[in-house]
Amino acid sequence: MDWSFLDQLSVIAYVVDAQLKLIYVNQTAAKRHKQAGMLIGQSILTCHKKEASKEKIRQMADEFARGRREPYNYSLKKGGKVMHKVILPYYDEGVFAGLIELMYFV
């Protein structure tokens, strides 16, 4: 799948496959996180230190694989700003294929 359209967005975008391996980092993410591109092919779970975060990611993927269609939305404070995240599933011929994470700061 060609994810290059995500480079047109002014938000940070990561795409992972159904095994939670990072498969795409948009240009905004690459500029903000200089080493993000080097993580292509690695599990996103290695990017998270807290076990609770890893478990939440696994839970989201499992729910999307079982048919959940509604995205997850949440916000947290980071560096004096509020970061909003939207995690949504993508499908290939009706089968769960992975997650797209969009992030932006306000």
- Written as tens digits, the pLDDT of the chain (106 aa) is 899 999 999 999 999 999 999 999 999 998 887 777 678 888 888 888 889 989 999 999 999 999 999 999 999 887 889 999 999 999 999 999 999 999 998 8
Q: Which of 27, 9, 2, 23 is nearest to 86 (CA)?
A: 9
As beta bridge partners, residue 76 has 83
Domain 4-105, CATH: 3.30.450.20
pLDDT of residue 36: 72
* Domain boundaries of the chain, sorted by first residue: 4-105
For residue 82, what is the enclosing H or E element?
A: strand 81-92
